Chain A
Amino acid sequence: MQGVGPAVCLGNDIDTDLIIAGRYLRTKDRSVWAEHVFEDLDPALAGRLSGAIIVAGRNMGCGSSREQAVVALREAGVVGVVAESFARIFFRNAVNVGLPVIEASVACTDGVRVAFDLDAGWVEVDGERYPARPLSAKMVAILRAGGLVPYWRSSR
């Protein structure tokens, strides 16, 4: 499983409230979450996410279990999220909605080319290749299916 796109660099401890605020949760309309993604962190970010790869620091996605956070990123067109470490519910949610997550410690500059290969276990930032921590076989299978819902349907 591979992806490529320009980097959007974020810091440490990006919580899910910052990804999508509590006031936007009461809807089933996923476009609302994509529209308001990162609004309380930097309203300009939403416009840069389509086709991009987020590169964050430590503890990405901490806080609330809200799955709307990973759906917002996916609906905004994010190709994958690279982080030095992830909060566990965010990590599991991302896989479940088919959003690739890559645990790797990398240097980031906004806009540089990022590429990843989950099967081979690497991520490349601005031509520099870094090792990525491997996912469990089940997680890779769920991601490959496009998330837990399609995985469930295909395995019945």
Chain B
Amino acid sequence: MSTLSERILGAPAGAYVDHEVDIAFAHDGTGILTREALREMGVDRLPHPGRLRLIFDHIVPANTGTTATLQAELRGYARASGIDLSDAGGGICHQVMSEGVVRPGMVVVGADSHTCTLGALGAFATGVGATDMAAIWASGATWFRVPETIAVNLTGRLDGPAEAKDVALAYVAKLGMEGATYRALEFVGDGAPGISMDGRLTLCNMAVETGAKAGMFYADAVAVRHLAEHGVAASPQAVEESRYEQEIEIDLAGIVPLVAVPHRVDTVREAEEVAGTEIDQVFVGTCTNGRYEDLARFARIVRGKQVAVRTLVVPASRAVLLRAIATGVLADIVGAGCMVAPPGCGPCLGAHEGVMGEGEVCLSTANRNFRNRMGVGAEIYLSSVATAAASALAGVIAVPEAV
């Protein structure tokens, strides 16, 4: 009768538990504060370096001397403390952690709000702040309040041009930006097994946009196969009849291309309704939609054509980039006139590499369209990869065709 969160944390919803963590990671943005907090705490030895990871992804390669110096300091710290470092170019923390590090049933904390992405592998994964992370690195454990769970019941199959991102925008719209605060989302139902691993990562990624602490899938044959591809042996998780606090229904067959309009993630329209909106930049990438399946889908649509607006594609990891090179997907993307930047977060957080100007409009496959996030006075629309590809070719927001 337990939910996945209750099973993994070993206590009923509402209980406060102290729990060991299996993986605890920070990135170049939050890691520096974690390092500072450890210094202030007087901690000079980390008891479980094997569980810790540092991933440089937010501003890579460094954009200024200050950034480079901070990264150099963190690099030196990782070396001295025995922490595994994925340096600039390795990819986005959540993607790197999904490529054979995180396994079903693990308790994972990351100093980044989108750590919930990793629930796609049947782990309990949640974001914490940098000082919390310092205490976790110093002790190997932390406290959690076991969340109540909202079931997102997926039925049927995706059809036409709709993809997992459209499903994500649909449930965010349904729940609202705080509809799941302090809750976990479990993606269940007869439609769940048909969602690809990349699609599951997209769905779990956006859980935090509803305020959720975690977003989770049961690890099944799809997850086991994904892990095997990354050299990890895992077993599927037995599905239990669970007691949910709330259930919402999503009929996959009824999902059409959707767009979140400025400046709220939960203000979602059918792409049809905003078609023709002028855009200045298309951005494909991030921990939401920078995976291989996304790049391949994008390439399929733009292959042999030319984009009509500046378009930036950022693979989520080196593994994704290498695969896109090997299969010719990258050549299709570059051939269509797109820019490709090294694996990382790109301009999602408005710090570098594609920041928008005053009054400019970006159609992005990311997860946040907050006011001014990608540049002061700029507007952000969020969409699927297929919608982004169709729009890049049209030069305005366009509805994709089935591929």
Q: Choose, from B33-41, B192-200, B221-229, the stretch at the interface.
A: B33-41
Contact A40/B372 with A22-B351, A25-B29, A89-B129 known, Cβ cut-off 8 Å: yes
| Contact across chains for A152 and B138 when beta carbons are under 8 A apart | yes
A149 engages B41 (CB within 8 Å)? yes
Provide the bound-state CA to CA distance between A137 and B32, in Å: 29
- State whether A26 touches B66 (Cβ < 8 A): yes
Q: Which residue in chain A gives the minimum CB-CB distance to B73?
A: A28
Contact A25 B111 (CB under 8 A): no
Q: Do the beta carbons of B42 and A17 come within 8 Å of each other?
A: no
Q: Write out, one digit per residue, whether chain B residues 250-265 have a CB within 8 A of any chain A CB (1) or not (0).
A: 0000000000000010
B67 within 8 A of A: yes
Q: Does B49 contact A (CB under 8 A)?
A: no
A22 — which chain B residues lie within 8 A by C-beta? 349-351, 373
Interface size on B, residues (CB 8 A): 46
Q: Is the CB of A148 within 8 A of B135?
A: yes
Contact check, B113 vs A13: say whether CB atoms are below 8 A apart: no
B contact residues around A17 at 8 Å (CB): 349-350, 368, 370-373
Knowing A67-B129, A88-B211, A149-B41 are in contact, say whether A26-B373 is a contact too (CB < 8 A).
no
**Which of B29, B138, B143 has its CB near the most chain A CB atoms (within 10 A)?**
B29
- Measured between beta carbons, the chain B residues less than 8 angstroms from A68 are 33
Q: Is the CB of B372 within 8 A of A97?
A: no
Contact sample, A vs B, 13 pairs, CB 8 Å cutoff? A13-B178, A17-B371, A17-B372, A18-B372, A21-B372, A23-B351, A25-B29, A27-B66, A28-B70, A40-B376, A67-B130, A68-B33, A87-B181
B177 at interface by CB-CB < 8 Å:
yes
Task: Judge whether B293 is part of the interface by a CB distance below 8 angstroms.
Answer: no
Asked if B264 and A13 sit within 8 Å, CB to CB, the answer is: yes
Residues of chain B within 8 A (CB-CB) of A65 are 30, 111-113, 127-129
Residues in B neighbouring A88, C-beta threshold 8 A: 181-182, 211, 213
Question: For chains A and B in complex, what number of residue pairs have CB atoms within 8 angstroms?
Answer: 119
A15 at interface by CB-CB < 8 Å: yes
Which residues of B are found within 8 Å of A93, using beta-carbon distances? 129, 131-132
Binding site for A on B (CB under 8 A): 16, 29-30, 32-33, 36-37, 40-42, 58-59, 64, 66-67, 70, 111-113, 127-132, 134-135, 138, 143, 177-178, 181-182, 211, 213, 264, 349-351, 355, 368, 370-373, 376
Chain B's nearest CB lies how many Å from the CB of A39? 9
- B132 neighbours in A (Cβ, 8 Å): 92-93, 96, 148
Q: How far is the CB of A30 from chain B (nearest CB, A)?
A: 10
Which residues of A in the span 82-103 have a Cβ within 8 Å of any Cβ on B?
A: 85-89, 92-93, 96-97
Once bound together, how far apart are the Cα atoms of A17 and B225, in whole Å? 37
Contact in complex: B112, A67 (CB < 8 Å): no
Complexed CA–CA distance, A85 and B213 (Å): 15
A-B complex: 3 closest residue pairs judged by Cβ atoms: A93-B129, A22-B349, A59-B178
A147 and B36 CA atoms in complex are apart in Å by 14
- Which secondary structure characterizes the binding site on chain B? loop
A interface residues (Cβ-Cβ under 8 A, vs B): 13, 15, 17-18, 21-23, 25-28, 40, 58-59, 62-68, 70, 85-89, 92-93, 96-97, 136, 138, 147-149, 152-153, 156
Q: In the complex, what residues of A have CB within 8 A of residue B372's CB?
A: 17-18, 21, 40
Residue pair B350, A58 in contact (C-beta under 8 Å): no
Of A40, A93, A97, A156, the most chain B CB neighbours within 10 A belong to A40
Bound CA–CA A156/B129 (angstroms): 22
Contacts of A64 in B (CB 8 A): 112-113, 349, 368
- Known A-B contacts A13-B178, A58-B178; the reply to A66 vs B30 at CB < 8 A is yes
Closest to B59 in A: A26
* Residue among B128, B131, B182, B211 making CB contact with A97, cutoff 8 Å: B131
Contact A28/B32 with A17-B370, A22-B350, A148-B135 known, Cβ cut-off 8 Å: yes
Known contacts A59-B177, A63-B113, A153 near B350 by CB under 8 Å: no
- Give the docked Cα–Cα distance between A45 and B66 (Å): 27
CB distance from A60 to the nearest CB of B (A): 10
Q: Are A26 and B70 in contact (CB under 8 A)?
A: yes
Complex Cα spacing A66 to B42, Å: 23
Contact B129 A23 (CB under 8 A): no
CA distance A28 to B40 in the complex (A): 13
Given contacts A25-B351, A65-B113, A68-B33, A87 and B178 within 8 Å (CB-CB): yes
